[in-house]
Amino acid sequence: MQDPGRNSRKADGVITPPDYIGRFAPSPTGPLHLGSLYAALASYLQARSKKGKWLLRIDDLDSFRNVPGASDSILKTLEAYGLHWDHDVVYQSQQIELYNSALEQLHQQQLLFPCICTRKGLIKYHQKNPGPAIYPGFCRNKSLSENQPHALRIKTENSEITFTDQLQGGVIENLQQVHGDFILKRKDQVIAYQLAVVVDDHTQRITEVVRGIDLLDSTTRQIYLQQKLGFKQLHYLHIPVIVDKQGCKLSKQTFAAAVDPKSASSTLHKLLILLKQSPPDELNKAPVAQQLDWAIENWNPNPLKKIRAISQ
Ligand code: GLU
């Protein structure tokens, strides 16, 4: 099979990077389970069917949640399933300077403010004040000493952010009314997911994000940051999440089992069915490379339109 991630040579001899660059960005909080592999496979198929690149990034900023050995286990599982990525793996923990310079850029625009509110205090406030659980803005206009331990929040605006998700359709959201000013750097100095993902997707020249619908809710915050940092808005395709018998999303919290690299062929076949790709029965036991060739050739995410959850 031709390497689909390879740069192509135009007739005039100029080498151009592929137009499509996708990625999979797992957090190393445990081994891959069926739900995370489902998202990996969808983003891989979308990238390869467009003859694009597929990059791998390990979202390992939150050292409290990282599980030792999980990154290596994720890499090995992806390889066992034939999901080979282009270029070197990027580890977020090695990109801190990039995030700090983005913070500096936002600070220059006077969009950031230090916040000393505690999680407990905010929960108490919301219990007493029913309504959307958005940040009530206590620290927005205070001039706090930078010496106190504080988080950094970005000011949101009373205007609408819009985008069209390829599967979920149009989204219009007023960030100030739905999420309020949100955290970019936590009090424990960990860079927040929302900032890191935007900086990385830009730096890696990602053109489209394919991921689970559980992250749809983060997208307007990410688009807002793209706007403020002068980055290009990405394309988005949010796929359903896999749920267990109780209807809960497979995750570490719901004790989802790790996928077994030894049963890669049959698990891949099952995943293609869960992606509504109708693979031929006889592919059930075929080697993963053969199944993936078929899946790239026939990939069509449209049967997943408007579906939020699929039972495992
Ligand atoms: N690291 C995130 C997670 O594992 C996904 C990030 C993303 O795809 O934007 O949930």
Best of 199, 211, 239 to mutate for ligand 1, by most ligand atoms within 8 A of CB? Answer: 211
Q: Which atom of ligand 1 is nearest to the CA of 197?
A: 9
The response to whether residue 58 sits with its C-beta less than 6 Å from ligand 1 reads no
192, 161 contact by CB (below 8 A) = no
Averaged confidence pLDDT in the chain: 92
Q: What is the pLDDT of residue 3?
A: 41
Q: Which atom of ligand 1 is nearest to the CA of 26?
A: 4
Are 8-94+195-311 and 97-163+170-192 equal in CATH topology? yes
Best of 194, 197, 220, 237 to mutate for ligand 1, by most ligand atoms within 8 A of CB? Answer: 197
Continuous segment of H or E residues that includes residue 222: helix 219-229
Task: Give the amino acid at 244.
Answer: D
Give the model confidence (pLDDT) of 180-217 as tens digits.
999 999 999 999 999 999 999 999 999 999 999 999 99
Kindly indicate the confidence band of residue 41, based on its pLDDT and cuts at 50, 70 and 90: very high
The response to whether residue 216 sits with its C-beta less than 6 Å from ligand 1 reads no
Helices (H) and strands (E) in the chain, counts: 9, 14
Q: What angle do CA 40, 42, 44 make, to 5 degrees?
A: 65
Give the model confidence (pLDDT) of 150-160 as tens digits.
999 999 999 99
Chain centre to alpha carbon of residue 27: 9
Q: What is the pLDDT of residue 146?
A: 67
Domain 8-94+195-311 has CATH 3.40.50.620: yes
Structural domain spans, the chain: 8-94+195-311, 97-163+170-192
Under CATH, which number does the domain 97-163+170-192 receive?
3.40.50.620
Give the model confidence (pLDDT) of 278-298 as tens digits.
999 999 999 999 999 999 999
- The length of the chain is 312
The response to whether residue 219 sits with its C-beta less than 6 Å from ligand 1 reads no
User: Within a 13 Å sphere around the CA of 40, how many CA atoms are in the beta-carbon half?
Assistant: 28
Q: How far is 177 from 158, CA to CA, in rounded Å? A: 7
